[in-house]
Amino acid sequence: MAGVLLPIPSGGTETYLPGTPRVFAPRGNTPLPRVAFAAAHVVADPLADTDPWLDVAIDWEATLDYRRHLWGLGLGVAEAMDTAQRGMGLDWATSLELIERSAEAARDFDGDALLACGAGTDHVAPDPSRSVAEVIGAYEEQCSAVEAAGGRIILMASRALAACAKSPDDYARVYDRILGQVKEPVIIHWLGEMFDPALAGYWGHDDHLAAMDVCLDILADNAAKIDGIKISLLDDKKEIALRRRLPEGVRMYTGDDFNYAELIAGDERGHSDALLGIFDVIAPAASAALAAMGRGDMAAYFDILEPTVPLSRHIFKPRTRFYKTGVVFMAYLNGLQNHFAMVGGQQSARSALHLAELFRLADKAGLLADPDLSCRRMARVMAAYGVGA
């Protein structure tokens, strides 16, 4: 192996030689000890005759193949979420088609494919003059569509609600109304402003701890209609504080891509299940680590997951909303799709230096399954930036 030429922060380049990849044990027949969803990315169609910044073009077969890959590892798929560029290139019409196609693909697994789907209000533009009733109507439309497709609902945070809500009471009104109508318990998604600046002040407070009180009141009032809550604040202390106050029977799904290993392992007072964008990237490692946990081998669990954390912290570094670029790049490096193009042209959202460091960290975690292939593909991308050209 000749290695690959990578840029370095001080200027210039270095020849980087990858190490030996880790071999992760294949999934066994025993169920995983945690509910574990990977928020899955979509594969763009790079040859479609469209304007990528404005139009949506999906390679449906490659996108569904990736979901089959995740299900085959025993992970669930969280569909049409922010990892799929929801609100950053993926519109509601295409999201609904994605949900319908994924629900159909899941049926091939005879009930062994866990699928939950995002329902929000993204077909309605955020506007402070909009009424709360309009937000309710938007939620109702998407929730009905997800249920009609046969999907479980993940009730996504609403930019429209954040824009027009005048007080915490408006949040309670919306959630009480929607949760009173759903057919099956849903997963609530609290997505922090580091992922989406338009969601700042969600639940009616800029302070997360004050917002937590409002959220908990809504959860308590609707506990029978709630499977769990996914919290994405990248703060393990806040997640644990909320987890310890949840109503009985309501799960905590970690969305903390910085501290997931410890949060999933848990403590003497409970644990978090998982609904993570990083599980798209590290799916084989996540599956193997959870299988080790199921065997009671926590040393192996941490041995597998801890080396993935620096990679995850890099992919999700500020500006965090651009993390999808790293997710898709890893799929390309590992041969899980044949190009590095994204919906909305988002492959340009991170720098060559960022991608080079991602490559190094993925290698150190043993996540480059075929280093020769990864080096060839990395060289092609770097050449587009003038490295080695």
Q: Residue 250 falls within a domain, yes or no?
A: yes
pLDDT at residue 221, as a whole number: 98
Per-residue burial over 117-141, b if 16 or more Cβ lie within 10 Å, else e, is bbbbbbebebeeebebebbbebbbe
How far is it, in rounded angstroms, from Cα 30 to Cα 281? 23
pLDDT at residue 1, as a whole number: 62
The CATH number for 257's domain is 3.20.20.70
pLDDT at residue 295, as a whole number: 95
- Partners of 79 in beta bridges: 117
**Cβ count near 253 (within 10 Å):** 27
pLDDT at residue 113, as a whole number: 95
Contact 231, 252 (CB under 8 A): yes
Q: Residue 313 falls within a domain, yes or no?
A: yes
Q: Residue 160 falls within a domain, yes or no?
A: yes
Q: Specify the number of domains making up the chain.
A: 1
- The whole-model pTM stands at 0.97
pLDDT at residue 109, as a whole number: 93
Q: Residue 13 falls within a domain, yes or no?
A: no
**Unique residue bearing structure tokens 């007072």:** 269
Q: Residue 17 falls within a domain, yes or no?
A: no
Using one digit for the tens of pLDDT, what is the confidence trace for 260-299? 999 999 999 999 999 999 999 999 999 999 999 999 999 9
Query: Which of 296, 347, 315, 303 is closest to 89 using CA atoms?
Result: 347
Q: Residue 295 falls within a domain, yes or no?
A: yes
Phi and psi at residue 358, to the nearest 5°: -60, -45
- Partners of 37 in beta bridges: 76, 275
pLDDT at residue 2, as a whole number: 77
The token pair at 189 is: 């998604």
| Domain region containing 179 | 30-345
* Mode of pairing for the β-strands spanning 4-7 and 13-16: antiparallel
DSSP state of 222: T
Q: Residue 15 falls within a domain, yes or no?
A: no
Q: Residue 388 falls within a domain, yes or no?
A: no
pLDDT at residue 110, as a whole number: 87
Mean pLDDT per segment of 10 residues, for the chain of length 389 residues?
92 97 88 97 97 95 98 97 96 98 95 96 97 98 98 97 98 98 98 96 98 98 98 97 98 98 97 98 98 97 98 97 98 98 97 98 98 98 92
